[in-house]
Amino acid sequence: MSELKNDRFLRALMKQPVDVTPVWMMRQAGRYLPEYKATRAHAGDFLSLCKNAELACEVTLQPLERFELDAAILFSDILTIPDAMGLGLYFEEGEGPRFRKTIRSEQDVEQLTVPDASNELGYVMNAVRTIRSALSGRVPLIGFSGSPWTLATYMVEGGSSKDFRTIKRMMYSQPDVLHALLAKLADSVIDYLNQQILAGAQAVQIFDTWGGVLSSQHYQAFSLRYMKKIVDGLLKEHDGRAVPSILFTKNGGQWIEAIADTGCAAAGLDWTVELGDIRQRVGDKIALQGNMDPSVLYASPDSIRKEVARILESFGSGEGHVFNLGHGIALDADPDHAKVFVDAVHELSAQYHR
């Protein structure tokens, strides 16, 4: 594997000195880019794009051709694991992901098998190897997975949900069934992420998109507990270099101390918290990633720069900050505004790293 030409993203995750604050964007390869839309049309549909290593590589690299990003992230979907478990993932136009089979009973959970990630999810590993080779050391590659709780919400609800009524009913009326499902998913995620690391991912992020819909006690019991199990089970280094892990719970800032106690290298933060406040609460225990509201990209270039400056000032001087949006970039965001954002992070952050 090629030596990294730009490792500031990995250095920041390990709280090591960097020249400027590194930046990448969640969903940076996606529908806001016209070149992505062209590649997806060529692929035929979203899942075909995910399962074609060359095309997945193409869309992973597309944002790097436009912006001076400090990391690439594997182009895939968080629902690959439940799909490999036989639930029949498909995408309804305008409706988002759906499953042909749902998990509603103890028997449903018992029938689920933990997929062999190197085999049943081999297309993801092929994509990782292809992307890593094409990057040729330009920037690090991030692998990722959904969290057990977030994956379970889709598997139990059958797709996206506004109120999570079905999985919460299971949580309150059949907690043992839900714990059994989450345990299987945690084992699956450990294998899945470790296979990504072996294939060439140099950092991994766990997306706990729906952890923030839980009460505090249930977040700890049904989400964070299983993310900690995953962190404990991950390969800590590969190719002679540490492989840092990032936990991102949307609307999870109130639990930052507990997240920091999991052993992860960094926590992703959404825009509902003040970065400086969070830094004070965790000290130097972990790095922090975030946390600009993606909707800021609708603002004028001058306003985008001002918000970047404000967030950099909030974090302050020193190491351990990876700049990112507080969630994925909006599908109708202007790519030119995304460039203003990325360039502003590099330009305005140098003063904090002297």
- pLDDT-based confidence at 3, cuts 50/70/90? confident
Residue 3 lies in a domain: no
The whole-model pTM stands at 0.97
Residue 2 lies in a domain: no
User: Looking at the predicted structure, is the pLDDT value of residue 227 above 80?
Assistant: yes
For residue 172, indicate whether it is catalytic. no
Which pLDDT belongs to residue 334? 98
The C-alpha angle with vertex 42 and arms to 39 and 44, in degrees rounded to 5, equals 115
Residue 185 lies in a domain: yes
SS (H, E, C) the chain: CCCCCCCHHHHHHCCCCCCCCCECCCCCCCCCCHHHHHHHHHHCCHHHHHHCHHHHHHHHHHHHHHCCCCCEECCCCCCHHHHHHHHCEEEECCCEEEECCCCCCHHHHHHCCCCCHHHHCHHHHHHHHHHHHHHCCCCCEEEEEECHHHHHHHHHHCECCCCCHHHHHHHHHCHHHHHHHHHHHHHHHHHHHHHHHHHCCCEEEEEECCHHHCCHHHHHHHHHHHHHHHHHHCCCEECCEECCEEEEECCCHHHHHHHHCCCCCEEECCCCCCHHHHHHHHCCCCEEEEEECHHHHHCCHHHHHHHHHHHHHHHCCCCCEEEEECCCCCCCCCHHHHHHHHHHHHHHHHHHHC
In angstroms, the CA 243 to CA 93 distance is: 37
In angstroms, the CA 262 to CA 231 distance is: 7
In angstroms, the CA 135 to CA 127 distance is: 12
Which pLDDT belongs to residue 2? 64
Residue 237 lies in a domain: yes
Q: In this structure, what token pair is assigned to residue 6? A: 């730009």
Catalytic residue (one of 32, 36, 154, 192):
154
Q: Please report, for the domain that includes residue 56, its CATH number.
A: 3.20.20.210
Catalytic residue (one of 40, 66, 104, 241):
40
In angstroms, the CA 348 to CA 246 distance is: 24
Mean pLDDT of 154-179: 97
For residue 100, indicate whether it is catalytic. no
- pLDDT-based confidence at 54, cuts 50/70/90? very high
For residue 77, indicate whether it is catalytic. yes
Residue-wise pLDDT for 66-121, tens only, equals 999 999 999 999 999 999 999 999 987 766 899 999 999 999 999 999 999 999 99
Tell me which residue range forms the domain holding 286: 8-353
Residue 112 lies in a domain: yes
Catalytic residue (one of 8, 11, 27, 129):
27
For residue 154, indicate whether it is catalytic. yes
User: Looking at the predicted structure, is the pLDDT value of residue 338 above 70?
Assistant: yes
Instruction: Yes or no: say if 320 and 12 are a contact pair by the CB < 8 Å rule.
Output: yes
**Domain count of the chain?**
1
- Averaged confidence pLDDT in the chain: 97
- pLDDT-based confidence at 321, cuts 50/70/90? very high
Residue 343 lies in a domain: yes
Residue-wise pLDDT for 248-286, tens only, equals 999 999 999 999 999 999 999 999 999 999 999 999 999
Which pLDDT belongs to residue 354? 86
Residue 206 lies in a domain: yes
For residue 31, indicate whether it is catalytic. yes
Residue 1 lies in a domain: no
Which pLDDT belongs to residue 1? 53
Q: Give every CB contact of residue 142 below 8 A, 6+ residues apart in sequence.
A: 24, 71, 72, 73, 74, 201, 202, 203, 204, 205
Which pLDDT belongs to residue 92? 74
Catalytic residue (one of 77, 108, 187, 293):
77
Q: Which residue has the tokens 């400027």?
A: 20
Catalytic residue (one of 31, 66, 104, 241):
31
